[in-house]
Structure 1
Amino acid sequence: MLSEEVRRITHPVAQFDGLAIDVGDPQSQAEFWRVTLGGRVVDDGEGQLRVVPGEGRPAREILRLRKVDSPAADDARVHVDVRLSGEEPDGLIAAGATVVRRPGPDPWFVLADPEGNEFCAFPGGDDRPPGMFELVVKCSDAHRLARWWAAVLGGRVEDEGEAASVVGAPEFPWDYMVFDPVPGIDRYRGRVRWHLVGREDEPEALLEAGATVLTRPGRQQRWWMLADPEGNEFLFTPPGA
């Protein structure tokens, strides 16, 4: 019989399949993130643009730009961290980013994309490649939520003091999925969610684990909109959908 750790790695409940961002102008946002990630833009034929990975980048480093009339006020509840190629974010600023905060006690920049979605940019300077390297989720109980997502995606939980990370999940495109405790964050609804592809057609295992249903499949779409135990929204699609 497989050990629990091996089972989680080889038989996850679902696989990570990129991020979705609510935006007002998909064209300009797609161009910004194309430059930022070194990817390319494709049209899925249903009015949604995607930034897909460039050469040498992880296959699931996908950003879907979902047009909405009124994007929620950004609180960076879910955001990405990128590593710069040098000490300054000049290339990102030239592409349309603005500086929210320069490094100080925390040794990274806080930047915002052209529609105000905040993300962190860490100065380079070593042999690690530039680009996106982690997904950060602000939450109330970091260790509990990290364990929950490790059970869904596979991988293992690493203790980082008050914070926690999931590492080694199959198909997860970046080094870390970080859970950062922020009191009161559950009052906010962000613009970023992630996509999962299930091992089964129905999300029964997720619901049994504590996910809740926000939207069920309908005539126009096959996906489910679910929320994890702290209300973070994610899409679940059946395999092959």
Structure 2
Amino acid sequence: MTVARFKDLCVDVTCPLAMTDFWGHLLGLTSPADNPEVLIGDRPEKTVWINRVPEVRTVKQRVHLDVVTSSIEALEKLGAKVLSPISDEQQWAVLADPEGGEFCGFVRESVPSYKLMELVVDSADPEAQARWWAGVVGGDVKTKPDVPYHWLENVPGLPFSYWVFVPVPEPKTIKNRIHWDVSADELRPVLDAGATLLRAKDDEIGWHVCADPEGNEFCVFLPRPAEGEGVA
């Protein structure tokens, strides 16, 4: 039995207006006139919040997005920089956004309007991470005999095909610049599953900030109290 549902994505940036424009074109999402620092699609789960933070990117991101595109040149025209091109050994290009954040581009003959293909998370133990998140938000854990990574598919509400956990040797050292939010009826089952509470909701934020077993931050949104009810 799952205890939460995927809600949306968040990207930390230092220049929200420029990065909202970049990610909007990259993913095929739009920004409403009354809120220029959020990207929306045709369903709530496709929402991407562009969050201003004071710190700049300093290390390789442990969470990145993979997108589909008609050509790598099209991504460069948006402002991306190629870090590692497509080759015989690598069927995708590694790129950087205008603030240096890594993402991967996969060239396809047919490109949908919504271009996010998968969410990728660096992990010390990809199988354990995939199984933990499957227990929290649902989905099927998949792998292949000849690959070191695991992934989730068929996750309820997930607005992209795959949620991938890949092995890396280096440990997590700083806050992730990309994270995801979930919605839940209660916080306690999420904590009982093994999440750590980093910050409870308070007068400044209306959600709980948690971390998964490998320290990846995510936010938990609970139902708003009905009018006239107190706040727990």
TM-score normalised per structure 2: 0.88
Which one-letter code corresponds to 1:169 in the other structure?
V
1:50-199 alignment, distance < 5 Å: 50-53=38-41, 59-85=44-70, 88-104=71-87, 105-125=89-109, 127=110, 129=112, 131-160=115-144, 161-199=147-185
Unaligned runs of 5+ in 1: 1-7
Residue 212 of structure 1 aligns with which residue? 196
Which one-letter code corresponds to 1:67 in the other structure?
R
Answer yes or no: is the 8 Å Cα contact 1:150–1:156 preserved in 2: yes
Decide which moves more: 95-104 or 26-35.
Answer: 95-104
What is the alpha-carbon root mean square deviation over aligned residues? 1.9
1:233 aligned to 2:212?
no
Deviation at 1:42, TM superposition (A): 3.0
Count of residue pairs brought into register by the alignment: 221
Answer yes or no: is the 8 Å Cα contact 1:97–1:113 preserved in 2: yes
Residue 39 of structure 1 aligns with which residue? 29
TM-score normalised per structure 1: 0.85
Answer yes or no: is the 8 Å Cα contact 1:75–1:190 preserved in 2: no
Give the secondary-structure state (helix, strand or coil) at the position aligned to 2:117.
Answer: strand
Deviation at 1:72, TM superposition (A): 3.8
Deviation at 1:74, TM superposition (A): 4.2
Unaligned runs of 5+ in 2: 226-232
Give the secondary-structure state (helix, strand or coil) at the position aligned to 2:32.
Answer: strand
Deviation at 1:193, TM superposition (A): 0.9
1:17 aligned to 2:7?
yes
Answer yes or no: is the 8 Å Cα contact 1:196–1:235 preserved in 2: yes
Change (3 A) 1:107 1:164: same
